[in-house]
Amino acid sequence: MVNRVLMWAAASPRLQRQVTENPVARRAAHRFVAGARLEDALEAAAELNSRGIGSILDLLGEGVEDLSGVGHAVAEYEEATQAIAAQGLDSTISIKLSQLGQTVDRDACVANLGRILGGAKAVGVRVEIDMEDSTLVPDTLELFREAATAHPQTRLAIQAMLRRTPLDLEALAPLKPRVRLVKGAYAEPVELAQQGKGEIRAQFKFLTDWLFRHGVDPAFGTHDDELIAHARKAAVQAGKGPEDFEFQFLYGIRRDLQRELVDNGHRVRVYVPFGSAWYPYLTRRMAERPANLLFFLRALVGR
């Protein structure tokens, strides 16, 4: 129920305006979002690096519907890659194709993606591609396939909850894809996606084993202890060492576990969202864990 209300809240422009214009709400969001500016994200990345943790810079914003918004996102990402290289940070960037014009002008999106990938490669920064809702999955896979042929370092997020995912991965196998495996953050209909926690976990474990056999340098984007334990065990069974894969976390979540993994020699990378468009991101995080909603409401009323 809370979950459904939050998914509704994520899509409500009116509520979004009311919350994002509230300075107290903006401050409370800082637990999960580095800040509004690129400098805030770079600072967060440097702090993570000082603790032996890599970062993934993510400019918040999705479903950009006008080309000026697209131009702004492309420029921000280019600036981010330049700054990461200039400051010698251990950081990738992660992009959403809908920010690059995927649903407005696909040719422009292809050109923008090529521009970002080319620029990042020139300064030695890796690029990751987020996976968005199921309407964008087929095209995102297609664009990844084209991108990964020219830029094999590119990593794609793949959602374990989607029923189609095992077949999608089989189709990508010849590319030896770099994948970030996640459960999936979007509300999807039962025909397209597993709904039960147990089923999603089972598929995540199956895909983890698959990635150790067919992928390159897999990343596991989860805070779920059971899935992290499974990946550690599966790596040993596949003859992989801790340098052959990484765990990825969201900013502000399970810092205890991040530390424990680093202390045990694992590679850890934290996804650092920044930018003014933090509202849909934050409501998705609250839908995953209603305790975060309580945290946010308490911060709003100053307790």
187-246 binders of ligand FAD (CB under 6 A) = 221-224
List own/partner pairs for 41-47 with CB under 8 A and 24 or more apart. Answer: 41/80, 41/272, 41/273, 41/274, 42/83, 42/84, 42/87, 42/89, 44/251, 44/272, 44/274, 45/84, 45/89, 45/90, 45/91, 45/272, 46/87, 46/89
Q: Is 168 exposed, middle or buried (0-12, 13-18, 19+ CB in 10 A)?
A: middle
Among 91, 98, 99, 159, binds ligand FAD (CB under 6 A): 159
| Number of neighbours of residue 165 by Cβ within 10 angstroms | 23
Residue 119 Cβ vs ligand FAD, minimum distance, rounded to whole Å? 21
Residue 24's SS3 state is: helix
* Contact flag: residue 61 with ligand FAD (CB under 6 A): no
Q: Is 166 exposed, middle or buried (0-12, 13-18, 19+ CB in 10 A)?
A: middle
H or E stretch at 116: helix 106-122
**Tokens 């530390």 found at:** 259
Q: Based on CB atoms, which residue is closest to ligand FAD, 187 or 235? A: 187
The annotation status of 267 as a binding-site residue, yes or no, is: no
Told to judge if 130 belongs to the known catalytic residues of this protein, a careful annotator would answer yes
Q: Based on CB atoms, which residue is closest to ligand FAD, 131 or 141? A: 131
* Contact flag: residue 100 with ligand FAD (CB under 6 A): no
Q: Based on CB atoms, which residue is closest to ligand FAD, 230 or 285? A: 285
Catalytic one of 58, 126, 130, 269: 130
Catalytic one of 180, 201, 267, 269: 180
The annotation status of 197 as a binding-site residue, yes or no, is: yes
Residue 221 Cβ vs ligand FAD, minimum distance, rounded to whole Å? 3
Q: Which residues bind ligand FAD (CB under 6 A)?
A: 130-131, 157, 159, 180, 182-186, 221-224, 248-250, 253-254, 271, 285, 288-289, 292
Catalytic residues: 130, 180
Known binding site for FAD: residues? Answer: 131, 159, 183-185, 197, 222-223
